[in-house]
Amino acid sequence: MSFDYVAAFFVMRLVALKTKSLGMRLGALLATLWLPTVLLNGAHWGQCDALFASLALGGLYFSLTDRPCRGSALFALSLSLKLQAMFLLPLIAPLLAMRKLSLKHLLCFCLTYLAALAPAWIAGQPLGVLLATYVNQAQQYPSPTLGAPSIFALFTVTPFAMFAGAGICLTLGVVAAVCGMLYRRGPSLTHEQIVCAAMLFAMGMPLLLPSMHERYFFAADLAGVVYCFYFPARWYIPFSVALASFCAYHSVYWIPSPIPLPILALMLAVTTALCAMHLARLLRGPVPAG
C-alpha cells in the first residue's frame, strides 16, 4: 500500500514538468490515490501492481529530468518486480533518441537487474533459471483472456496457441512501429509526446496481448492521470481506461460487471485508436535534420 503513495508522488512530479500550478500538482496526486483501481488493487485486494508501476513512472521521471542513472535503475527494478513493467519499457527507445539515456545507461539497467537477481542466486537458485523466470511464467496461463478487456474478449479463439502467437507478433510489430516513429524525431521529442506515447503503450499492449489478467491495465490507469493533466481536452481517453479497468475488477469479487467484457474491450480498442491518432498528430511535421 505504501507504493500507492510512491506512484502518486511520481505522477505528481511528471505533471509538474507540465505546470507549475500547486493546485494541479496536488490534484494529480489526489486523483491517483483516489482512483478506484488503486484503492482496490492494494488496500482491498492485496495485489502489488503499484510497486512495478510506480518504479517505472519514477524511471521515466528521472530520465526526463536528466538523471539517467536513477532512471535506468528504476526501470530495471520495475522489471525485476513484474513482467508487466514491459508496458512502459518501450519508452526507453524515445528516451535514447532524446539523449536522455545512452548505451552506458543501458549497462546500468542490466547491472541493476542482475543485482536484483543476486539474493536468489546466492541462496542457490541457478542463474539460468532466474533469467528464464518470465519466459516460464508466460506459459502458465494458456487462456485468451483472464478477465482483462483485451481484444481476445471479443471472440472465442481456438486453437489458442495460433491466436496467441498472432497477438504477440501484432503487439511487437505495433510497438516497434511506434518506437521507430518516435526515434526518428530524435532530440526534438517533447515531454507531451513522451506522455502520449506512455499512455499508448500502457493501454495498447495489454489490449493486444493474450492471457492478460483483469488488473493488467493498472499502469495505464496511472499513466492516464498524467495524460489527463497534460491533455485535459482528451479526458475521455484516461476515463475510458479507468472505467474498463474498474469494471474488469468486478469478476474478482464475483459481482457481474455493469458493462459486459466484450463491450469494454471494444471501447478500449476505439480509445487506443484515438490515442494513436493523437500521438500521430503530435508527431506530424518534418523530421528535424541531424
Give the pLDDT confidence of 7-22 residue by residue, as tens digits.
999 999 999 999 999 9
Neighbour tally for 145: CB within 10 Å: 24
**Is 290 among the domain residues?**
no
**Is 287 among the domain residues?**
no
**Is 221 among the domain residues?**
yes
Residues of the chain with pLDDT under 70: 156-161, 254, 286-290
Q: What is the pLDDT of residue 177?
A: 96
Q: What is the pLDDT of residue 113?
A: 96
Q: What is the pLDDT of residue 140?
A: 75
Supply 272's cell numbers.
Answer: 487506443
**Is 203 among the domain residues?**
yes
**Is 204 among the domain residues?**
yes
Q: How far is CA 161 from CA 140, 149, 205, 211, 280, in A?
A: 13, 19, 18, 11, 33
Q: What is the pLDDT of residue 278?
A: 97
- DSSP, residue by residue, 88-105: TGGGHHHHHHTTSS-HHH
Total number of residues shown for the chain? 290
Buried-state track 32-60, b at ≥16 Cβ within 10 A, e below 16: beebebbebbbeeeebebbbbbbbbbbbb
Quote the domain boundaries for residue 202.
2-282
Q: What is the pLDDT of residue 273?
A: 97
**Is 288 among the domain residues?**
no
132 φ/ψ angles, rounded to the nearest 5 degrees: -95, 10
**Is 289 among the domain residues?**
no
Q: How many domains, in total, are found in the chain?
A: 1
Q: Which of 85, 80, 89 is nearest to 120 (CA)?
A: 80
**Is 78 among the domain residues?**
yes
Amino acid identity, position 136: N
Q: What is the pLDDT of residue 161?
A: 67
